[in-house]
């Protein structure tokens, strides 16, 4: 918060009152939410600043009071999404569960965050549109998350719990399936985010093929 200098008797222009700063932060949140919706629907280049401003009953120009430019809004959308899944990954890993259960929970959490908070398109936005510096920041956060997933897979392989797949390709497959959700998911559809996450985790963990020992249809009573 207030770093060092008390505002003292004179209001410094750099230091708005807490009340004003809070209002500004809230508005920034609203704008980013509107932007995520628009970007998810029509992509970065297909979304105008008017699109983002419109549903907040603002005009295009006002957005530049809150954000430097369109790219900054895109970068912050990405970073918010990545922060959310990185938090989820830390929480899930903190539980110190076996790699398969860790993976299952992370997939479910990631799907839930992606769908509920980012309209299915959290990490699927085009950060190629960002200038090098902002892109580097976003890519670094994305790489941290991908690395977390690869670690979980590597641990599972080392423990003999997972087959010796290529952790990179497996990570891309999982990411792809989750990031693609935004292209087909509709809130009015038959599947809830929880059902999607649970099914996806099941497919990635156990595959489509029935276990050789399992009965085709009648329960084997294993569980």
Max Cα-Cα span within the chain: 79
Q: How many residues does the chain have?
A: 223
Is position 170 an interface residue for a copy of itself (rule: CB under 8 A)?
Answer: yes
Identify the CA nearest to 185 among candidates 173, 171, 174, 197.
197
Is position 165 an interface residue for a copy of itself (rule: CB under 8 A)?
Answer: yes
Q: What's the closest the beta carbon of residue 66 comes to a copy of itself, in angstroms?
A: 24
Among 100, 147, 151, 155, binds a copy of itself (CB under 8 A): 100
Q: What's the closest the beta carbon of residue 46 comes to a copy of itself, in angstroms?
A: 4
Count CA atoms closer than 13 A to 157's CA, side-chain side. 13
Q: How many of the chain's residues bind a copy of itself (CB under 8 A)? A: 56
Determine whether 51 is exposed, middle or buried from the number of CB atoms within 10 Å of its CB (0-12, 13-18, 19+). middle
How is 53-74 classified by DSSP, letter by letter? HHTTT--GGGHHHH-S-HHHHH
Is position 184 an interface residue for DNA (rule: CB under 7 A)?
Answer: no
* Interacting residues with a copy of itself between 17 and 46 (CB under 8 A): 41-46
Residue 89 CB partners (closer than 8 Å, separation 6+): 106, 145, 148, 149
Q: What's the closest the beta carbon of residue 183 comes to a copy of itself, in angstroms?
A: 8
Measured in degrees and rounded to the nearest 5, phi and psi for residue 173 equal: -65, -45
Is position 145 an interface residue for a copy of itself (rule: CB under 8 A)?
Answer: no
Is position 61 an interface residue for DNA (rule: CB under 7 A)?
Answer: yes
Nearer to DNA, 11 or 211 (CB): 11
Of 12-20, 120-128, 192-200, 205-213: span binding DNA (CB under 7 A):
12-20
Nearer to a copy of itself, 53 or 111 (CB): 111
Say how far apart CA 160 and CA 151 lie, in whole Å.
14
Q: How many of the chain's residues bind DNA (CB under 7 A)? A: 24
Identify the CA nearest to 46 among candidates 121, 144, 131.
121
Residue 100 CB partners (closer than 8 Å, separation 6+): 156, 161, 162, 205
Of 52-60, 150-158, 201-209, 213-221: span binding DNA (CB under 7 A):
52-60
Is position 219 an interface residue for DNA (rule: CB under 7 A)?
Answer: no
Say how far apart CA 199 and CA 97 lie, in whole Å.
20
Is position 176 an interface residue for a copy of itself (rule: CB under 8 A)?
Answer: yes
- The residue ranges that bind DNA (CB under 7 A) are 7, 13, 16, 20, 23-24, 27, 47-50, 53, 57-62, 64-65, 68-71
- The residue ranges that bind a copy of itself (CB under 8 A) are 41-46, 100, 103, 126, 128-129, 153, 156, 159-166, 168-170, 172-181, 183-184, 191, 195-196, 199-200, 202-214, 216-217
């Amino acid at each position: 918060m207030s770093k060092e200098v008390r505002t003292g008797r004179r209001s410094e222009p750099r230091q708005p009152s807490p009340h004003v700063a809070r209002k500004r932060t809230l508005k920034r949140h609203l704008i980013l939410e509107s932007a995520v919706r628009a970007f998810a629907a029509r992509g970065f280049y297909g979304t105008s600043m008017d699109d983002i401003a419109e549903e907040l009953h603002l005009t295009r120009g006002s957005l530049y009071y809150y954000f430097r430019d369109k790219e900054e809004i895109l970068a912050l959308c990405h970073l918010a999404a990545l922060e959310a899944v990185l938090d989820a990954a830390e929480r899930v890993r903190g539980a110190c569960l076996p790699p398969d259960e860790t993976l299952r929970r992370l997939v479910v959490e990631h799907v839930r965050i992606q769908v509920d908070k980012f309209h299915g398109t959290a990490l699927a936005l085009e950060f190629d549109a960002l200038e090098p510096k902002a892109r580097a920041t976003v890519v670094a956060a994305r790489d941290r998350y991908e690395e977390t997933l690869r670690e979980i897979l590597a641990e599972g392989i080392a423990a003999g719990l997972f087959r010796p797949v290529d952790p990179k390709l497996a990570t891309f497959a999982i990411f792809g399936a989750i990031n693609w959700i935004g292209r087909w998911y509709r809130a009015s559809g038959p599947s809830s985010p929880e059902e999607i996450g649970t099914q996806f985790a099941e497919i990635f963990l156990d595959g489509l093929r029935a276990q050789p020992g399992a009965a085709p249809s009648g329960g084997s009573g294993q569980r």
